[in-house]
Structure 1
Amino acid sequence: MADASSIFAGIATSAQNGAPLYLQLKKAIADAVRRGLLVPGDALPSERDIATRAEVSRVTVRKAVQELVRDGMLVQRHGSGTFVAPRMDRVEQSLSRLTSFTEDMARRGMKVRSAWLERGIYPPSPEEMMVLGLSSKELVARISRLRIANGTPLAIERASLSASTLPDPDAVGSSLYATLEKTGNRPVRAVQRISAANLGDADSKLLEVAPGSASLNIERISYLLSGKVIEFTRSVYRGDAYDFVAELRLSSPDESGESIL
């Protein structure tokens, strides 16, 4: 790490530019990371040391650091301190192809693993009954996983299926779709709804980001060729790791009902 004094010095004396001190300190740290003066894995000095060198209060330091943690530039490890976050290549995910997480990451040459959060047979919730078309007497299979690529947690997937479709959730390995394909139940189309959100404490801990960090929440309903709903999945993706891409085409007169001329 470069001389910390040169990074943090002069913050208080530049207050005449009108920007709040914590924003000036945040910018100084962010600039140091972008210029390579602080590199991934470097530990920041303690809150007290930064406050002394920058001639600001510890409250100012804490606010600047918390914002950089929320932005994904810094990470805090309990009992260890604050570090420059590892650089992460963003994953570009097409919205026009119905593929599994395992297939997406394998295509990019990334090593994938999952940490199971839930796997079993349960009475369905009202939402599951409505989406999957289940009666109150039927059961639902739930599988929830933390999806990890190249050692970095990227997404939390929570899938629900009829227990008649997936009677043994323990049979699912790395890919749910591969398991469904064996029984002829792999979906052929899906409708997805994407919304922006801020992570709560539980999900942010799983994804190893600060509470309140940006996320992309995707609700997917998948169908068989017959039109039957086969899967209901709610996923939470790290906002700092994913870009979702959709191809748009000008509709033909047959599709829109109007002439394009």
Structure 2
Amino acid sequence: MSDAADQIFAALKQSSQSGAPLYLQLRKSIEDAVNRGLIGPGDALPSERDIATKADISRVTVRKAVQDLVKGGILVQRHGSGTFVAPRMERVEQSLSRLTSFTEDMARRGMAVRSAWLDRGLYAPSPDEMMVLGLSSSELVARVARLRIANDTPLAIERASLSASVLPDPAGIGSSLYAALELTGNRPVRAVQRISAANLGEGDARLLEVPPGIAGLHIERISYLASGKVIEFTRSIYRGDAYDFVAELRLTGPSEEGRS
């Protein structure tokens, strides 16, 4: 039996919730072991069968306790690999007053950045893309979708749309879309960003390595050139447990003083 199992069952023996349902006792023992550092981020949990055998409880009880902890973000399950203690996330604080790329944001924090490409291609535009980017039905739209990863932790899914006249070869983009746009004089200078809460669907949750249904941030951004022309339409999903968006608020003038 692994050291992790011994630590869990030591915590289980110390549980004071003897009158609570078994799955709650087991859930608390695992959570206590994690919080006390007896098992750390990335450590594998014993199998359901091993836990059930040693604790003398049913596998259904074990499964219920584990699923509760997965939903709570304490554990993560990886298909074909098992159940692990979730990594401790270092929250990223991002200002809403600066228009920067993900690559620039993370590099400024000294974090190693990489992307997993989900899509790069030219397509017929959707009605939303036609409306926002000012495209006709006969024009093409360039779509660039990436899973953004910092320090080996997936943080965001970005899905950007641009006119094919601006980005005729999406496959040629390197690590930064904005760097590629800057080379052609098409880097945006301002943007309007709308942020809303969202429960992550199964596909996005799988990419971000979080449980389906967990809270996330849906961000829609429309970016503009200095001329006022829309250059980019991006819809992103960010992990809710990793990001804080911060805005500085200022009094606009003496006439506003005293108002609440």
Scaled by the length of structure 1, what TM-score is found?
0.89
String of CA shifts for 1:4-53, please: whole Å, max 9, x gaps.
3212237696225xxx5544433332221111111123222222343455
Number of residue pairs aligned between Structure 1 and Structure 2? 254
* Kept in 1: contact 2:7–2:39 (CA 8 A): no
Equivalent position of 2:92 in the other structure? 91
Is 1:3 matched up with 2:7? yes
In the TM superposition, residue 54 of structure 1 has moved relative to its aligned partner by 4.8
* Kept in 2: contact 1:197–1:216 (CA 8 A): yes
The one-letter amino acid of 1:35's match is R
Distance change >3 Å, CA 167–CA 13, structure 1 → 2: closer
The 2-side partners of 1:11 and 1:68 are apart by: 17
Equivalent position of 1:68 in the other structure? 69
In the TM superposition, residue 237 of structure 1 has moved relative to its aligned partner by 1.0
The 2-side partners of 1:260 and 1:41 are apart by: 52
String of CA shifts for 1:179-230, please: whole Å, max 9, x gaps.
1111111111111111111221211221122222221111111111121111
The 2-side partners of 1:13 and 1:150 are apart by: 38
The one-letter amino acid of 1:240's match is D
Equivalent position of 1:103 in the other structure? 104
String of CA shifts for 1:82-131, please: whole Å, max 9, x gaps.
11122221111111111000000110111111111111111100010111
Equivalent position of 2:236 in the other structure? 235
SS in 1 for 2:234: strand
Equivalent position of 1:164 in the other structure? 165
Structure 1 segment 1-261 matched on structure 2, within 5 A: 1=4, 2-9=6-13, 14-15=18-19, 21-54=22-55, 56-253=57-254, 258-261=255-258
The 1-side partners of 2:180 and 2:188 are apart by: 11
CA RMSD of superposed structures (Å): 2.1
Unmatched 5+ stretches in structure 1: none
Unmatched 5+ stretches in structure 2: none
Q: Which has the higher mean CA deviation after the structures are superposed, 125-134 or 40-49?
A: 40-49
SS in 2 for 1:250: coil
The 2-side partners of 1:165 and 1:184 are apart by: 10
In the TM superposition, residue 56 of structure 1 has moved relative to its aligned partner by 4.7
Distance change >3 Å, CA 23–CA 251, structure 1 → 2: farther
Distance change >3 Å, CA 153–CA 259, structure 1 → 2: closer
SS in 1 for 2:165: coil
Identity %: 76
The 1-side partners of 2:256 and 2:198 are apart by: 39
